[in-house]
């Protein structure tokens, strides 16, 4: 229960959008990614629509191996169920999308696929589908094709069972990320050059870190990859530092004023402020894993004053 409370409010879908684009990064010139695609004028949206721009060129990625021209993706976050009703709701989205073309049969059924992505294996769903006469076959590790009486080519992707080497971005959308996956993803993400690709990597990391803070703190401390995390999340860390500095300065002023009033002289005010700033430096060193000099630089303490505070630590 404690873990569930910690991950409440995580924007899993934002990470999913980035993960899917990273999954298919090798073929991004071939595909068009449309997030939260509206099915009508009302607020009815699919999680993602991927349009293959060149129908004659296949997609090599395992997830995209069955892609046709129009490909609907529905993502279920780790704490969301995937029942037989959820399955049919997704098929309903696909039927609506097919039926809302501007001209007759603009979207042929044979050119439309459905993919449902979830972290955990949906055993109950598969059992219910089998009772209806459908067949479940594992096309690749973690990728299950549903065949039989289905209107469109359909697959269920179980991210926890996907190949570690081929699908790290989707595997990171979990509250139980494995250290090997996280470290490998960080190495791969550091090599990304295009801004859009790096933004997708940051989106994946944002939700993955939020759901696995202790793991990433350990990586930051022990694995020598703190610089990678800082490089990928410069803006977030800069904002943390700005807030820490502001809080430290406010705390210093407040404690300094209190100390000054207690002592009734200027020296007391200065001593109180110095004590508060020393505490803030120590806090930054512990929480942000900074050296003393780095913490003082963040707080804007002049170089000529740093020896004084270093002696008090």
Three-class SS state of 221: helix
* CB 157, CB 142: distance < 8 Å: yes
DSSP 8-state class, residue 212: -
- Determine whether 12 is exposed, middle or buried from the number of CB atoms within 10 Å of its CB (0-12, 13-18, 19+): buried
Three-class SS state of 106: coil
* CB 89, CB 49: distance < 8 Å: no
- The answer to whether the pTM exceeds 0.95 is no
Work out the end-to-end distance of the chain between its first and last CA atoms, rounded to an integer number of angstroms: 39
- Cα–Cα distance measured from residue 64 to residue 79, given in angstroms and rounded to the nearest whole number: 25
Q: Which residues of the chain are under the pLDDT cut of 70?
A: 1-8, 40-43, 223-269, 272, 287-290, 298
Within the chain, strands assigned E span 31-38, 45-52, 70-75, 112-118, 135-140, 143-147, 153-158
- pLDDT recorded at residue 296: 79
- pLDDT recorded at residue 231: 65
Residue 25, token pair as written in the block:
């990064």
- Determine whether 216 is exposed, middle or buried from the number of CB atoms within 10 Å of its CB (0-12, 13-18, 19+): buried
- pLDDT recorded at residue 280: 79
- Cα–Cα distance measured from residue 68 to residue 117, given in angstroms and rounded to the nearest whole number: 18
- pLDDT recorded at residue 1: 39
- pLDDT recorded at residue 5: 39
- pLDDT recorded at residue 313: 81
């Amino acid at each position: 229960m404690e873990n569930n409370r910690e991950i409440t409010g995580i924007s899993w879908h934002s990470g999913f959008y980035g993960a899917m684009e990273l999954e298919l990064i090798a073929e991004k010139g071939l595909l068009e990614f449309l997030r939260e695609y509206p099915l009508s004028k009302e607020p009815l949206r699919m999680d993602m629509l991927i349009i293959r721009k060149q129908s004659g060129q296949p997609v090599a990625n395992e997830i995209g191996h069955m892609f046709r021209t129009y490909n609907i993706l529905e993502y279920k976050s780790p704490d969301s169920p995937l029942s037989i009703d959820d399955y049919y709701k997704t098929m309903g989205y696909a039927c609506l999308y097919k039926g809302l073309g501007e001209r007759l049969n603009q979207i042929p059924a044979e050119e439309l696929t459905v993919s449902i992505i979830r972290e955990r294996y949906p055993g109950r769903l598969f059992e219910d589908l089998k009772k209806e006469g459908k067949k479940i076959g594992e096309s690749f590790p973690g990728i299950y094709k549903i065949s039989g009486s289905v209107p469109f080519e359909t697959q269920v992707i179980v991210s926890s069972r996907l190949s570690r080497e081929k699908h790290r971005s989707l595997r990171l959308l979990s509250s139980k990320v494995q250290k090997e996956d996280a470290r490998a993803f960080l190495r791969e993400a550091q090599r990304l050059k295009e801004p859009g690709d790096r933004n997708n990597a940051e989106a994946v990391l944002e939700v993955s870190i939020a759901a696995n803070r202790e793991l990433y703190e350990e990586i930051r401390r022990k694995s020598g990859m703190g610089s990678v995390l800082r490089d990928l999340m410069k803006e977030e860390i800069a904002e943390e530092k700005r807030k820490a500095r502001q809080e430290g300065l406010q705390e210093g002023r407040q404690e300094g004023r209190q100390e000054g009033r207690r002592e009734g002289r200027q020296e007391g005010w200065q001593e109180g402020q110095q004590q508060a700033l020393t505490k803030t430096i120590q806090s930054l060193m512990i929480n942000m894993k900074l050296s003393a000099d780095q913490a003082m630089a963040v707080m804007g303490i002049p170089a000529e004053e740093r020896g004084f505070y270093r002696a008090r630590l």
